[in-house]
Structure 1
């Protein structure tokens, strides 16, 4: 079994400035360690029984504080075995049937990975040939640590079966806490959920490869609800398969948080001298409230995780033809759309579903990744050359992980899908899931997609995945490998994307999964942006985008202007553009049917967007007013040098009538992240203010009426 530790561990470039702030202090007896970030201390110590224990995790403490045995919070690697006093993160069965583990400390090593100090602590079972290496890497400027575990079978015969292996756990000081996480369903992704952590275990898990939310969590003491101040423990998981988080509060008040691969219906056999490495789990602590979590995670994704080719580039304005033509595509009709898109200022033209062999409806064609000659008798190159001649780049939609039973691929290889013998093959959307754990399936997809990209001047791929996981059978695999099929699937998915990116580094890749069904740091480290939701209604998107921007940077959030109006509110085209301009702007209308006024609005808005997108894509995001708190939303973006600011104001309803002065006072907006002594000019308001005034007193943005909006550009003089 190949390791599946996220490749983010080896792609971060060394940063000498930050490296000198990395801090791991080793005790005089070399049996204790203090691990520091900007705001926190993570303290470990080997106890008198030779077990590595967690002593503390929270705000900074004096490193020489004397700790008694009874003060230990829990084992650094809680296992199945002995007293059951915490959630285990490692459970195995040895060849002779013994399923208890007794670990003892052996050694430690401090190294650099990607320019960041990392400690590796080695423990071994007292009797069996099981070695457990726990890694902790410190990213001080983001106020978090990364944890992952490597398990090795040191024996010369017999396999060790892993029944559970998480990436790590943390323990929090005794207190009353609230947990906030983000979940949802199709069309309503990233809904914030807040609950009190009471005695018992709260589990958040994914079993079918779809989350419509996030593995990101925030835990804060009750009544500490200031967005910009207060203690928050946070975390997330860098994995795109089935994951699980457990929040366990004991009857003594201790809180333990564990996270990792969801081993429900999964197991891994370690053969002699074989190892398995978990994906990375992030655990963090800040005293800057939930906004501190936002800034740390978004900055990390934007500065470190995004694929390096386009990491620092502004994203292009997109047009996608799905809402205009669906699957009924041909060259003449697509060129007509491309001409209109170019006239509006679009930079990337994308054909969605329907371009490949036999794709006349959703029941056919998936899996046959060759151009449909009935629709494009001259191939795609004829179309692409004409699109490129207009000054537009060209992109395609694909869904490589799926197959229609009505396809040449399935007819030739019905055994290439997930299935169990003697059981129903469950179709969803007339699709079955290709068993990407198979090497022949991997090779077919790699060669097919490589050929399409090599033969056509394609600069953008929208990668979709529309099915929930069912029937994960792999009958042809050895018995010991059959229940590891989901893990192997994710390994090969990552491998496939990475291989294509290496072959075609100039191609942008978009992650899509029935909307926001598979958005995580594992995807962000391999794709340039995310399709956040199939719900493009602008009112709903204000809520979805507010949550998304709590967790991820704006340059990863694609938003289309479309005809959709789920609530029958008839919002203006200007309002729709303003909503979509808060991320990566796209258009999805049938623009050949627009009148001159609509085209002029689009052209003007795209021009405005190009003037401000540098700040949106590269700057810091502040959720000044959340639509979950008020009947409006205000987003603020600040450039790296703090001299340029963009503010989006969205009204979702009418406010009670007040006097002019009362109305102004009630709606003063305090901005964030400015230079206190600089003087800023607010365009459209013909007024100037110091940064200190805008942050401490605030400004009234005169946006009135329901479903109205305005974008303010603010610059330091």
Structure 2
């Protein structure tokens, strides 16, 4: 490792300081410092990423190390994981980048370090960007790869969004994994020498969303260093953790180029999606809070970014495909009576849709089910005081659909006409005529009807991605082009219809990432609506994303589970509350309970959707769980759950603590604690220090029970 002298000159430009000797930059956020150095070989090297205090000490000790490149490429010694792999026109596969220039620019009001490098021998230019969001302790990294030549293509075989290197230590990786009906399960593993790869190859991420957190193995549970990150991409992606034998950990993230490649013709560029990375000294909750605030305040679509998400009703579990106007209006009247604000018709409203094998792809209103169209029904629902929403699955179709019969060339194919045993097929959205068709039919639907909400679903895994009509050299671009046009389609629809809310859905939580959430206002977490299962999924989800994107339905009893309606509502109130049961089967007591719980939710909705989340008790560690939501005044709502009875007595003592400790309060402030259903009563007063350090008695008794507490600073 090469070490050089202390910097003797510097120019500070806000969060980015330019160093004169040695040449380089220090990028600072509220808690972190990221140091880059231009070595004697004119190569950019990241030499430190961590706490600002450690960075200061490092400068004092002159510990500037010559490690992995800022953009590691395929070439030279293979002791790294490359972020960029190309093949030149003469079939040379190694690249060697050298520094050209660096400048601090402004991108959307944020300081950004722009570094340009070029290959020493070939017409390849690589521009990497580091955009600084100091208040969230987050850096956004991405790069643009350009063929600057006049003849000959450059083939990209891998182009990651960014790479960071952690100091040598023993590290624990936390990520989320699972499957359809069981998403967002918290996973932890020790990073040992070698590679750990988390990836998606199926165009959906029910198995694992593109988020991570890495902490020293010996770090305190609720405090200390945490590196975290998330990828802005909804197609195939990967996150790689490469631990060297010396203990350093290189982390990379970007598009997964499995079965993909990209041809750069002369003059053309390829831009990667963003990788957001961060560092905090405040432990796991600090990482989660930074990521949630960052997503809530800068990523979510600006039009509804600061709006409270409405309480919605979805008709799917009540009527499935057999929908009609009278039936939906009957449900709407009941929905209005319990306090619903948005009424959504799911699958079954469009032409010929009577089962999973019919109609999908023909996005016209079924005149048999709705002879008057949707307009009169929507007006009646609006007159009840509710907005109207609808379900679509634009990227898919079934062989029985008219669009399939009329345009078989629009469908992915893999000669010789192999077909997997699935009911749905994918439209090849890489094709411009497919994009234009979907834009036209969806624009027509929204223009002709007062639709204020779209649930955008995708229920298939991308398969058989043949594109035989395209030139051979670009056929392996199809997965990337497909995703670009999905984004383009949503963007154009939002431009044309700016007041429409969008919800991302993909067989549950298959498209819950910052790339999609920069376009969608909220997300469906899972097709599993069991409250017991949802406690685990929602606890995991809130490590990575904000609560105002986490949609949770109250539905009928899950298989082998029987829980109260109160419990179901309390679980669903942890995010964006929704109801999906058949209200026609609810008795008067059920309706009264629902109305009461929805009214309670509206009391805590600003805290839940816009507050700071604290993970108090993990269901992955105990048979209970608790989440705290706080605003800037430290007013809080705390939701507590029991998943099982505690075994008590001399022989079976409880292994869990019997108290509830809160977080983030002011130690000297007095707080009033109330049960939400007793919010008109005086409550009990405690000092913040007592609530955080001693705690109160655990407020829930019995299995499958819950309690919501209000915590209010005393005036």
Task: Tell me whether 1:282 sits opposite 2:276 in the alignment.
Answer: yes
Cα shift at 1:253: 2.5
Match 1:220 to one of 212, 215, 229: 215
Where do residues 545-556 of structure 1 align in structure 2 (5 Å cutoff)?
545-556=538-549
Residues of 1 paired with 2:215 and 2:74: CA distance? 29
Equivalent residue for 1:5?
Answer: none
Residues of 2 paired with 1:82 and 1:626: CA distance? 46
Describe the SS at the equivalent of 2:99: strand
Equivalent residue for 1:652?
Answer: 643
Q: Deviations over 1:424-474 (max 9, x none)?
A: 13352x110011111111111111011001101111111100000101111
Where do residues 199-598 of structure 1 align in structure 2 (5 Å cutoff)?
199-212=193-206, 213-226=208-221, 228-428=222-422, 430-566=423-559, 568-598=560-590
Q: Deviations over 1:229-260 (max 9, x none)?
A: 02111111110100011111122332211111
Residues of 2 paired with 1:632 and 1:435: CA distance? 46
Cα shift at 1:714: 2.0
Cα shift at 1:225: 4.6
Equivalent residue for 2:133?
Answer: 139
Q: Deviations over 1:66-89 (max 9, x none)?
A: 6577x3221111111111121111
Equivalent residue for 2:702?
Answer: 705
C-alpha change, 1:22 and 1:689, in structure 2 (3 Å) is farther
Match 2:600 to one of 595, 608, 612: 608
Which stretches in structure 2 are left out of the alignment for 5+ residues? 1-11, 676-681
C-alpha change, 1:218 and 1:259, in structure 2 (3 Å) is same
Equivalent residue for 1:82?
Answer: 76
> Higher mean Cα deviation, 692-701 or 71-80?
692-701
Describe the SS at the equivalent of 1:158: coil
So what's the TM-score if we normalise by structure 1? 0.94
Match 1:671 to one of 656, 662, 665: 662
Check whether the contact 1:208–1:470 (CA below 8 A) recurs between aligned residues.
yes
Residues of 2 paired with 1:395 and 1:559: CA distance? 16
Residues of 2 paired with 1:359 and 1:632: CA distance? 43
Check whether the contact 1:22–1:37 (CA below 8 A) recurs between aligned residues.
no
Where do residues 679-698 of structure 1 align in structure 2 (5 Å cutoff)?
679-684=670-675, 686-698=683-695
Q: Deviations over 1:484-531 (max 9, x none)?
A: 111111111111111111111111111000001111011111101000
Check whether the contact 2:539–2:618 (CA below 8 A) recurs between aligned residues.
yes
Which stretches in structure 1 are left out of the alignment for 5+ residues? 1-19
Cα shift at 1:417: 1.0
Q: Deviations over 1:608-644 (max 9, x none)?
A: 11111111111111111111111101111112332x2
Check whether the contact 1:426–1:432 (CA below 8 A) recurs between aligned residues.
no
Residues of 1 paired with 2:106 and 2:578: CA distance? 41
Cα shift at 1:29: 4.2
Residues of 1 paired with 2:418 and 2:211: CA distance? 35
Residues of 1 paired with 2:565 and 2:494: CA distance? 36
Check whether the contact 1:405–1:411 (CA below 8 A) recurs between aligned residues.
yes
Equivalent residue for 2:591?
Answer: 599
So what's the TM-score if we normalise by structure 2? 0.94
Check whether the contact 1:205–1:243 (CA below 8 A) recurs between aligned residues.
yes
Residues of 2 paired with 1:350 and 1:327: CA distance? 14
Q: Deviations over 1:59-108 (max 9, x none)?
A: 22127446577x32211111111111211111111111111111111111
Residues of 2 paired with 1:21 and 1:649: CA distance? 46
Over the aligned positions, Cα root-mean-square deviation in angstroms equals 1.8
Cα shift at 1:42: 1.2
Check whether the contact 2:387–2:451 (CA below 8 A) recurs between aligned residues.
yes
> Higher mean Cα deviation, 475-484 or 681-690?
681-690
Cα shift at 1:423: 3.3
Cα shift at 1:674: 2.1
> Higher mean Cα deviation, 632-641 or 330-339?
632-641
Describe the SS at the equivalent of 2:17: strand
Check whether the contact 1:510–1:529 (CA below 8 A) recurs between aligned residues.
yes
Equivalent residue for 1:8?
Answer: none
Check whether the contact 1:462–1:510 (CA below 8 A) recurs between aligned residues.
yes
Cα shift at 1:690: 2.3
C-alpha change, 1:665 and 1:185, in structure 2 (3 Å) is closer
Q: Deviations over 1:23-64 (max 9, x none)?
A: 211112472111112222211111111111121122221274
Check whether the contact 1:21–1:140 (CA below 8 A) recurs between aligned residues.
no
Describe the SS at the equivalent of 2:519: coil
Check whether the contact 1:134–1:147 (CA below 8 A) recurs between aligned residues.
yes
Residues of 2 paired with 1:564 and 1:242: CA distance? 35
Describe the SS at the equivalent of 1:75: coil
Describe the SS at the equivalent of 2:391: strand
Cα shift at 1:398: 0.5
> Higher mean Cα deviation, 648-657 or 671-680?
671-680
> Higher mean Cα deviation, 367-376 or 137-146?
137-146
Check whether the contact 2:22–2:38 (CA below 8 A) recurs between aligned residues.
no
Equivalent residue for 1:15?
Answer: none
Describe the SS at the equivalent of 1:379: coil
Equivalent residue for 2:678?
Answer: none
C-alpha change, 1:704 and 1:257, in structure 2 (3 Å) is same
Check whether the contact 1:22–1:138 (CA below 8 A) recurs between aligned residues.
no
Match 2:26 to one of 34, 52, 62: 34
Residues of 1 paired with 2:467 and 2:654: CA distance? 65
C-alpha change, 1:22 and 1:520, in structure 2 (3 Å) is farther
Residues of 2 paired with 1:589 and 1:510: CA distance? 19
Describe the SS at the equivalent of 2:302: coil
Task: Tell me whether 1:48 sits opposite 2:56 in the alignment.
Answer: no
> Higher mean Cα deviation, 681-690 or 76-85?
681-690
Cα shift at 1:589: 1.0
Residues of 1 paired with 2:479 and 2:633: CA distance? 45
C-alpha change, 1:665 and 1:514, in structure 2 (3 Å) is closer
Equivalent residue for 1:128?
Answer: 122
Residues of 2 paired with 1:159 and 1:229: CA distance? 50
